[in-house]
């Protein structure tokens, strides 16, 4: 994620010239007496992270290596990176386990940007569309001078490691099969990249630019050319540097350099007792699906964040039939409590991470805040009834040339469109798995039943959908599940398109993001994939 270090720590900025400047700007002060304000421990989290990265070279005398960190000046989100490529400000790009061509909006613009790179590296188990972007439909390879290097790496089923899901569960897995001969892990590739850069710096000696961070980066692994994932998991968990013992809680982290942790929210995931992420207990006394003995949930195996809010001032659950946490007179039972297990109900508030110690109805950290407002997507089939004169978010970051790619009033794009995934495919990788391709073989366009009748589109026939940026064509799925909406007194139809297809793989099909606009959310720059304008028509059967 752009703008943060692991554990939601903040990236230093140029005006934060010293570690103290950064800590003062990043550590919130309590606004109410006796507020827990757990982010007040920010210095412990950051210094422990710097110790994990730079080890003995991170000392109080050199601000624990703070000056080794880059200072981010400006926006480094996904859309902005590719806009910088388009402007000629970025020469090279490394894609690791990621297919940027199909994962981003406005594929024609992305193809233009990628063609301006001098070099591009793709590290992945499969040859992706991004590795062969110069072969995309409509591209002339003779006009693309980008040097593309493809490095095959192991798939996740070919190595141990962990997954963290959206419920914050880090689950350890074991290798299922061996990788093909000659295929190396991504940890090997990244480690080898580090060593080769370091060796080049060693040749130039102390005169090399930015020499110290490269030379002083800690790389203490049994095989320094290829760390194991167990070693990395322990490093992320963190150590007491005096004893060498693995930590069991982020509460043990210190700001004096006595502890290390690659990511404080995972402290407790790999302790002296073993790999908590590998736990496979199935008991669930709560009956709520918490399963505390299955894997590890950050932070500290807590299954519900701010769980103290589910009980009243005396610690009695608001819902007695589904008690996630409760005070039994001596300790909290149920989920791992937000604070100490024996802290009495009146000992702290429910919202321990906020300076106020209470829930927030608004945030002063939003570009378009503090209060929520409704804006229409940049392409909308209707007006904004709340603000006719301010239809879309006024603080969107507009990239050069994007407005000209949007549908304007009078353009013939009357229908809303959204893109989504299908359950049979794990995004783009599973286009290479024969059984999954058999289960979901073809790119399709999902058209509501009523709209299909208007357009003469038959189920199983073909349909073409186009926006101002591009067009797709696929099998028509006439559906009852997408209902018409009545908006401002008008019927609005929505068309659905899956995102998994491209021009590489066992199965091939149109790229859904040929249609989407190059626009991001005003706060996160997350692309506006879910709502834009298109038109649709029946494609006549081909004759032979």
Question: Mind listing the pLDDT tens digit for each residue in 280-309?
Answer: 999 998 889 999 999 999 999 999 999 999
Neighbouring CB atoms inside 10 A of 376's CB total: 18
Q: Which domains does the chain have, with CATH numbers?
A: 403-539 (2.40.40.20)
Confidence band for 471, pLDDT divided at 50, 70 and 90: very high
- The residue behind tokens 């190396």 is 184
The proportion of the chain whose per-residue pLDDT surpasses 90, expressed as a percent, equals 81
Question: Mind listing the pLDDT tens digit for each residue in 161-178?
Answer: 999 999 999 999 999 999
SS3 assignment, position 524: coil
Neighbouring CB atoms inside 10 A of 329's CB total: 6
Dihedral of alpha carbons 239, 245, 246, 250, sign: negative
pTM over 0.85: yes
- The residue behind tokens 């407790």 is 268
Q: Which of 49-53, 126-130, 226-230, 271-275 has the lowest mean pLDDT?
A: 126-130
- Whether the per-residue pLDDT at 405 is higher than 80: the answer is yes
- Whether the per-residue pLDDT at 1 is higher than 70: the answer is no
Sheet of strand 92-96, all strands in order from the earlier edge strand to the far edge: 92-96, 119-124, 147-152
Q: Which of 182-191, 198-207, 221-230 has the lowest mean pLDDT?
A: 198-207
Averaged pLDDT, 195-222: 90
Going by C-alpha positions, the residue among 414, 378, 314 that lies closest to residue 518 is 378
Give buried/exposed letters for 346-364 (b at 16+ CB in 10 A, else e): eebbbbbebbebeeeeeee
Q: Average model confidence (pLDDT) for the chain?
A: 93
Q: Which of 34-48, 182-196, 426-440 has the lowest mean pLDDT?
A: 426-440
Confidence band for 423, pLDDT divided at 50, 70 and 90: very high
SS3 assignment, position 146: coil
Question: Mind listing the pLDDT tens digit for each residue in 36-71?
Answer: 899 999 999 999 999 999 999 999 999 999 999 999
- The residue behind tokens 């502890």 is 259
Going by C-alpha positions, the residue among 264, 267, 257, 262 that lies closest to residue 56 is 257
Question: Mind listing the pLDDT tens digit for each residue in 85-99?
Answer: 999 999 999 999 889
Q: What is the pLDDT of residue 339?
A: 85
The proportion of the chain whose per-residue pLDDT surpasses 70, expressed as a percent, equals 99
SS3 assignment, position 325: strand
What's the rounded Cα separation, in Å, for the pair 128 and 121? 11
Q: What is the pLDDT of residue 544?
A: 63
Averaged pLDDT, 482-503: 95
SS3 assignment, position 232: helix
In three state form, how does the secondary structure of 26-95 look? HCCCCCCCCCCCHHHHHHHHHHHHHHHHHHHHCCHHHHHHHHHCCCCCCCCCHHHHHHHHHCCCCCEEEE
């Amino acid at each position: 994620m752009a703008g943060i270090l692991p554990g939601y720590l903040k990236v230093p900025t140029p005006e934060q010239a010293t570690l103290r400047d950064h800590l003062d700007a990043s550590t919130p002060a309590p606004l109410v007496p006796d507020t827990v304000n757990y982010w007040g421990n920010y210095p412990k989290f950051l210094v422990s992270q710097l110790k994990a990265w730079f080890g003995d070279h991170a000392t109080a005398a050199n601000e624990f290596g703070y000056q080794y960190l880059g200072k981010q000046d400006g926006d480094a989100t996904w859309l902005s990176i590719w806009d910088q490529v388009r402007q000629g400000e970025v020469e090279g790009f490394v894609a690791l386990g990621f297919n940027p061509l199909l994962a981003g909006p406005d594929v024609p613009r992305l193809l233009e940007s990628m063609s301006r790179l001098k070099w591009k590296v793709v590290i992945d188990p499969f040859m992706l569309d991004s590795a062969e972007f110069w072969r995309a439909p409509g591209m002339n390879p003779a006009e693309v001078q980008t040097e593309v290097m493809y490095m095959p790496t192991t798939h996740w089923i070919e190595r141990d490691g962990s997954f963290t899901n959206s419920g914050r569960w880090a689950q350890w897995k074991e290798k299922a099969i061996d990788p093909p001969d000659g295929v190396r892990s991504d940890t090997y590739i990244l480690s080898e990249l580090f060593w080769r850069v370091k060796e080049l710096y060693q040749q130039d000696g102390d005169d090399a630019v930015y020499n110290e961070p490269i030379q002083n980066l800690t790389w203490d692994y049994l095989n320094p050319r290829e760390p194991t994932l167990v070693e990395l998991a322990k490093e992320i968990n963190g150590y007491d540097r005096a004893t060498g013992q693995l930590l069991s809680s982020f509460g043990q982290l210190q700001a004096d350099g006595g502890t290390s942790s690659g990511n404080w929210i995972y402290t407790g995931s790999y302790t002296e007792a073993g790999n908590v992420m590998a736990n496979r207990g199935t008991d669930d006394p709560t009956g709520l699906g918490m399963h505390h003995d299955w894997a590890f949930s950050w932070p500290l195996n807590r299954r519900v964040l701010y769980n103290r809010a589910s009980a009243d001032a005396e610690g009695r659950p608001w819902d007695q039939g589904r008690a996630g946490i409760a005070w039994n007179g001596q300790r909290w039972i149920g989920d791992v409590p937000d604070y100490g297990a024996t802290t009495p109900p009146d000992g702290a508030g429910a919202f321990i991470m906020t300076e106020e110690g209470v829930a927030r109805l608004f945030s002063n950290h939003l570009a378009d805040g503090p209060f929520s407002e409704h804006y229409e997507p940049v392409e909308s089939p209707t007006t904004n009834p709340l603000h006719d004169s301010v239809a879309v978010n006024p603080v969107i970051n507009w990239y050069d040339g994007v407005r000209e790619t949007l549908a304007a009033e009078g353009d013939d794009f009357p229908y809303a469109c959204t893109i989504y995934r299908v359950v049979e495919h794990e995004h783009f990788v599973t286009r290479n798995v024969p059984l999954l391709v058999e289960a979901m073989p073809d790119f399709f366009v999902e058209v509501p039943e009523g709209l299909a009748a208007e357009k003469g589109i038959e189920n199983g026939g073909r349909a073409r959908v186009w926006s101002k940026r591009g067009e797709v064509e696929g099998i028509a799925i006439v559906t009852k599940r997408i209902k018409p909406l009545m908006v401002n007194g008008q019927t609005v139809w929505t068309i659905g398109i899956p995102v998994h297809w491209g021009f590489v793989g066992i199965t091939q099909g149109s790229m859904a993001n040929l249609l989407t606009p190059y626009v991001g959310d005003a706060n996160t720059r997350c692309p506006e994939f879910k709502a834009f304008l298109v038109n649709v028509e029946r494609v006549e059967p081909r004759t032979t």
